[in-house]
Structures are given as structure tokens and as C-alpha cells.
Amino acid sequence: MELEVAGRTVRLSSPDKVFFPERGFTKLDLARYYAAVGPGILRALRNRPTTLERYPDGVGGEWFYQKRAPKGMPGWIPTAHITFPSGRSADEMCPTEEAAVVWAAQYGTLTFHPWPVRATDVDHPDELRIDLDPQPGTDYADAARAAQELRAVLDEFGGLRGWPKTSGGRGLHVFVPIEPRWTFTQVRRAAIAVGREMERRMPDRVTIKWWKEERGSRIFLDYNQTARDRTIASAYSVRPRPHAPVSAPLRWEEVGVAEPRDFDLATMPARFAELGDVHAGMDDHAHSLDALLELARQDEHDHGLGDLPYPPEYPKMPGEPKRVQPSRARREPSP
């Protein structure tokens, strides 16, 4: 069948294929969902190189991340050339129209993972993204409490405004639009500074410890989500869980009140029709990281707090501490 999406015709094969057996949602339901929230998800993806998380046979089947633009992609969908930490590069899908999202849904894309950069400048992020990830023994309510303190930290260090959203699971994401003046390394350094300040204010509730054995029952502020080629599910993305939840943009007064399960493939279109995109004004702002980078400098100068470990697939980075989990390091013999 064919769907009309913002002036484009998108062909949909096997529209009755069931993607979410628990709820009975089909590929057609998925495509119609993305058409319904089209202006919102396009705002989140526009001009951004985007990795596709694809489930061709639905949530019960095999899945993969598609980083390179799919073969046969229509010529009206542009690409952006990005470079990975390994030095290799690729051309990624770079949505500029709502129909591009529905086209990707035709190929089983549930979740869209945009880079925090625009196609015009792929080396300087224009978003500081903070991932509040509940660890065992914590839940969404703990993430919501941490988010409220995070809001205060952001305001104190540079008057930054964060835009919160559910992850689609138990966590919360807060995106801060920034001027595209800093490298991935500098933006990651700002995220680490935020995390350390959060640890000081909420030592029993928040951690930035990279090794799981050190985190305890606290919310993990995943600073490495700001590293190059690490991405976070976009606003309005459907998440691959049986009940088809979505990553829902929130107003600050909803944080801790609304529950993640309130937002799914069936309920979000009605919310969007009523409220529109509650993050619509996000691109009207572009903050400075100067205050957070000064905080990072003070942490290093006054407290000896330098860099933290990168993800395991990264090459060894300048100034990075030993990439060995603490329990293993204690067992290794001294030289």
C-alpha cells in the first residue's frame, strides 16, 4: 500500500506484518505512528546523521544497527559523511523530510539514533546529551529525582536549559542545545564535569563510575554517551520492548509525575495531536559550555580529577586512565 506523508508517497510492503505481538501492532501501525508524530521526530532528526535500529521481523526477531545509508535509499533522502573513532568513515542517512522516517519504518526501523551534530559540521556537537541510567536497585523515580537536581546544576553553570524526555525504559535523557564550537572531547569533558557536580550533591543517589562493580544502587550518569559515535534514541522513537513504548519529550513539570509506560505507540499520537511537540522551541536556543569547562578545569587543578575511561571499542585516548576494572587491577601483580 502507499501512504501520503507531507507531500511524499511512501510505499509500504507487508503492512499487516505483526511487529509487536503482545499488542498486535503491525508495520502499518508503526508507519502511521511516525506519520502522526512526523513534525516532532523530524525536529529531533533534521540534518543529523542517523543510525537506524532495525527489526525486520518485529521485536521477536533478529535486529541490527544500520550505520551506513541503506542501498536503494531514495535520492531525495540526503546523507552525511561521518568518521568513527577507528578512523573509518561512512555516509549515514540524514533526514530532512517527515517521509524519510516513514520510509525507514518500511524497512523495520523502530528506533532512530541521531548524532548530536548537523550535516554542515559533523565534528562539533550542537547538543550536550545527558543520560540518567537507573542501576539495579533504582528505578524511574530515582532518575526523576536526579533530573530535578540536574536541572539546577545546568542553570547554575551557565544558565543552561535542558529538555527532558523518557528513554522509553526506566531512564531519563536531558538534552541541552549548545553552540557548535566544541569538539566531541570537550563536550564529553563538560558532561563529566556535570556528573562530578551531581555526585557531590547526591553522593548516595548518583554516580559516574564507569565500572559496574563500583556503581551500587545509584543512577549512573553515562558521560560516554557524549563520545563520538555514541548516540541516544531520539525523541518519539519507538523502543524495542513488547509493549511498544516510545521516548517521550516531557515538560519539566511532568518529570516525576508522568510515567514511562504512559507513552507508547498507541497513546503518543493523541498527546501529539493535543499538545504538539513540547520540545518545539529547543532549536531556538544555543548555550555556551564555558562555565562547565571551567568547572572541569577547576576539578582537575584543585582536586586532581582528570579524564575517565572511554568505551572499550575506542582507541586509547590522551590522558585517559588505565582501562581496567578496579577488582581486576587489584589482582594484577605490581611491576
Q: Is the pLDDT of residue 327 over 80?
A: yes
Residue 322 binned pLDDT confidence (cut-offs 50, 70, 90): confident
**Domains of the chain (ranges plus CATH)?**
2-122+236-278 (no CATH), 127-227+285-303 (3.30.70.3300)
CA separation for the pair 47, 83 (Å, rounded)? 16
What pLDDT band is residue 331 in, cutting at 50, 70 and 90? low
Quote the pLDDT of residue 329.
75
Q: Tell me phi and psi for residue 112, to 5 degrees.
A: -105, 130
Q: For residues 67 and 313, is the Cβ–Cβ distance under 8 A?
A: no
Residue-wise burial string across 286-321, b where 16 or more C-beta atoms lie within 10 A, e elsewhere: ebebebbbebbeebeeeeeeebbbbeeebeeeeeee
Residue with cell 532528526: 45
pLDDT score for 168: 95
Q: Does residue 152 or residue 325 have the better pLDDT?
A: 152
Q: How many CA atoms lie within 13 A of 170 on its CB side?
A: 13
- Model confidence at 328, in pLDDT bands (50, 70, 90)? confident
Q: Which three cell numbers stand for residue 223?
A: 558521560
The span from the CA of 58 to the CA of 81, in Å, is 29
Quickly tell me which residue has 585516548 as its cell: 317
The mean pLDDT value for 235-243 works out to 98
Across the chain, what does the average pLDDT equal? 96
Distance CA 198, CA 187 (A): 17
pLDDT single digits (tens) 116-166: 999 999 999 999 999 999 999 999 999 999 999 999 999 999 999 999 999
pLDDT in tens, 174-202: 999 999 999 999 999 999 999 999 999 99
The model carries a pTM of: 0.96
Number of C-beta neighbours around residue 193 at 10 A: 26
Q: Tens of pLDDT along 252-286?
A: 999 999 999 999 999 999 999 999 999 999 999 99
Q: Dihedral (C-alpha) 195, 290, 297, 121: value to the nearest 10 degrees?
A: 80
